[in-house]
Copies of this chain bind each other. A is one copy, B any other.
Amino acid sequence: MKVNHEKCGYCGACVGVCNKLAIELVENIIVIDTEKCNDCKSCMMVCPLNALEE
Q: Which residues of A contact B (CB under 8 A)?
A: 5-6, 10, 26-29
* Besides A5-B26, A5-B29, A6-B26, 5 new A-B residue pairs in contact (Cβ under 8 A), listed by A number: A10-B28, A27-B28, A28-B28, A28-B29, A29-B29
CB nearest to A31 among chain B residues? B5
Number of copies: 2
A10 to chain B, nearest CB (A): 7
A33 to chain B, nearest CB (A): 15
CB nearest to A5 among chain B residues? B29
A17 to chain B, nearest CB (A): 23
CB nearest to A27 among chain B residues? B28
Query: A10–B10 Cα gap in the complex (Å)?
Result: 14
